[in-house]
Amino acid sequence: MTTDHRHIGRPVPPRHHDRLVRGHGRFAADLRADGMLYAALVRSPLPHAEVTGFDATAARRDPRCALVLGPGELAARTAPIPTVWRLPGQPEDAVPVAVRTARYAGQPLGIVVADTPTAAADLAETVRLDLRPLPPVPTLADALAEGARPVVPGTGDNTAGRIRFGSPPEEVAAALSRAAVVVERAFTLPRLHHTPLETRGVLAAHDPGTGLLTVHASSQAPHAMRQDLCAVLGLRADRVRVVSSDVGGSFGSKVLLYPDEAMVCAAAVALGSAVRWTESRAENFTAAYQGRGQQATARLAVGADGRFLAFDADILADLGAYATQAGSGPAQVTGLTLQGPYRADAAAATVTGVHTTRVPTGAFRGYGMQEAAFLRERLVDETARELGLPATELRLRNLLRPDELPYTTHTGLTYDSGDYGAALRRAAALADRPRPPDAPWVRRGTAVVTAVEITAFAPTALLEAYGIAWSGWEGVRLRINHDGTVTVYAGVIAVGQGIETTLAQIAAEGLGIPLDWVRVELGDTDTAPHSDLSAQASRALTLAGGALVTAARRLADRMRQLAAAFLDTAPEKVRTRIAATAAPSSPDAVFHTPDGARIAWREVAHRGYRGWGRARPTDPIRLEESVDFDPPQLTFAHGAHAAEVAVDLGTGRTTVTGYWAVHDSGVLVNPLIAHGQIAGGIAQGLGQALTEEATVDADGLPTTRSLREYTLPASPDIPEDLVIEHTSTPSTVIPGGFKGLGEGGTILPPAAVACAVAAAVPEIAHTLTSLPLTPPRIRAALRAAGLTAEGDIR
């Protein structure tokens, strides 16, 4: 089959933009149902307390009230939410929905359902909670202090399991003993709020006649949500349907079922009605799960020749009150990716989970890789400083070369393809520019850093080996309809990343048809192929796209064989001629032979649905191909970022004045979408480098409760000189050569900015181990180093 339709590699505008700009989006708060009721949550105001009373008498007497479920009723109606990625020795394997002890401020204790949102909120405030305060354990230091009260009852301390990755201890010790220089630093990577544009929301409707629970949710993973709801509510899989329509951002905050969402669904089942809950922005800040939250002591050993001998780290993960479904996963990925794109004689990390009386932590864009990059790249920079070498030269000496790939790290990750040195050299070249004149109290510096990115998460064999109870394969179903149009069904969903457009491009190219013939259907567990992980972990395009390449090839071959039968010729003699603006029934959209015989694309499809033209009676009739793709291994994207900063020695303010990124994500399906993903990731990463930190006071009560206290990056914080380039080293393990890129932009900005500040003000370089680099933090380091606003040393 021949065609002139080339869609992969074209910067096609995302399909969803026009619809959303015109106000036709369908987000959770836009949805309605007949007889819909509204829910509000009763939450704990204390970070640690025994719930001795839950008096909802006043609420239940109010005529506006439809239902109240307190701890007792919830215990009768729900089971705990099972976890899927645990640490060895983790004391709990589930997250309860019904609790008698609050372990964090904002924890849901009950739910009130009423006829209006205002009534539900008002009635929730009338519920009287009797709480017996328990000692809060808000920090890792508090949790690990001698005599600290265990957050998990019945345990001896607050450790939540431990795992070690990489080289045996004796190999690390031997490498350290051979080193000419060992650089060790203590790092703090704070908790972060996800702050998606759309907060969480659920509309759950239960039909008592059929027993069907239909849940519309702002979720990244509807199939995983359905599985958890079945476990929590005791329902059959075919009696729960989860639909995710438009999702207004997530960044990892919507990958799992929360207890409050389970309460909404339990209320719908109890009432046999439709119940909607929309998370307020205040709830999102105080009760939604958070990201990051690690402390680490890490070291890098280097030989006299500048060769890396060992990376080693001890990582503490603040899991909060509960280890969520994959609570320790990000910290485990930090340990797994510590070695990064470098060769070394040894590399290892020990990860210890710790419980505190804070909101649980979970996935956040970059998923442990941003943390690993910060530890590693700061160590490399500090080592170069001690050796008196340019940091870029030290990196290039130790980066893996293309001829060394595939390469398996000491923690067991196998890199498939890439040219790490080329990306680093290009980023350095882009950042090499004359510096403008600055005031005496301003210092300017530039740094270049590098990382790899796990994508195509994850092969079944890997998940099984680590005991991670998810399915990592991805399925698609590709259908040519009887009218010749094409529909793609995929288990991944759209969260603003443009996956509807890129999947359509892959299908259209594989079939050799115009792009507007293809429609992509996502987000409905009744119609979408199964997908536990769906749109997270830089996997959607890689795995669904890889499956779609195979499905399109098979279906194109079937159409050609049918056309050959109708044209009474051999399949290899059949060609296609489809004009860019043709419809499926157009005379400009045909199969044809060299002697001039022809048949319209639509006619082939229509006859195919009649069952005509098959070579054998046992051949399939429906023009549909389903492909489940289980990747043979992970595939790794990579990149290098350079940042230029100006540091005001008087105020401590750091301004990013230039930023250059070079990324390699294999074959790019849509460069326009790729650019947007990387640019957005960089902006998010700059916020984490400079301003963002989720905090509590000494009693464990949240202090970042709104956007007044939590500073997100705004357009003035993003440098005008933001340059993004792409190289392409196709994946050797994914059909189509794709690699992921959704997290790549976020991974490196904190490391790039911190290393640039160190280059600008080397007097404080050794202190730059904690994020964010706020003006007060930098100013304190400057004062401790004796630097005045004029740049002089006192």
What is the rounded end-to-end Cα distance, in angstroms, of the chain? 77
| Whether 87 contacts 319, CB under 8 Å | no
- Cα distance between residue 495 and residue 537, in whole Å: 13
Predicted TM-score of the model (pTM): 0.96
Residues 6+ apart with CB under 8 A from 461: none
Lookup: tokens for 719: 């440098």
Half-sphere exposure in the Cβ direction for 520 (13 Å, CA): 29
φ, ψ for residue 538, nearest 5 deg: 50, 50
Q: Computed from CA positions of residues 412, 417, 421, 426, in that sequence, does the dihedral angle turn out positive or negative?
A: negative
H or E stretch covering 314? strand 308-320
Residues 6+ apart with CB under 8 A from 716: none
> What are the pLDDT digits (tens) for 556-591?
999 999 999 999 999 999 999 999 999 999 999 999
Lookup: tokens for 520: 């992509």
Q: Strand 274-278 vs strand 37-43: parallel, antiparallel, or unpaired?
A: parallel
- Cα distance between residue 624 and residue 552, in whole Å: 10
| Whether 383 contacts 74, CB under 8 Å | no
pLDDT for 792: 54
pLDDT band at 2 (very low <50, low <70, confident <90, very high): very low
> What are the pLDDT digits (tens) for 657-669?
999 999 999 999 9
Residues 6+ apart with CB under 8 A from 670: 9, 10, 11, 12, 498, 501, 502, 505
pLDDT band at 789 (very low <50, low <70, confident <90, very high): confident
Q: Is the model's pLDDT at 790 over the cut of 70?
A: no
What are the Cα distances from residue 191, in Å, to 204, 507, 696? 31, 40, 10
What are the Cα distances from residue 662, in Å, to 80, 637, 725, 764? 44, 11, 5, 28
Domains assigned to the chain: 416-458+634-784 (3.30.365.10), 473-629 (3.30.365.10)
β-sheet with 101-102: strand ranges across = 101-102, 49-55, 128-133
> What are the pLDDT digits (tens) for 292-319?
999 999 999 999 999 999 999 999 999 9
Q: Which of 173, 645, 184, 186 is nearest to 383 (CA)?
A: 184
Residues 6+ apart with CB under 8 A from 209: none
Q: Hey, what amino acid is at 50?
A: E
> What are the pLDDT digits (tens) for 689-728?
999 999 999 999 999 999 999 999 998 899 999 999 999 9
> E-strand spans in 462-502?
474-480, 486-490
With 0-12 CB in 10 A as exposed, 13-18 as middle and 19+ as buried, what is 61?
exposed
Please state the length of the chain. 794
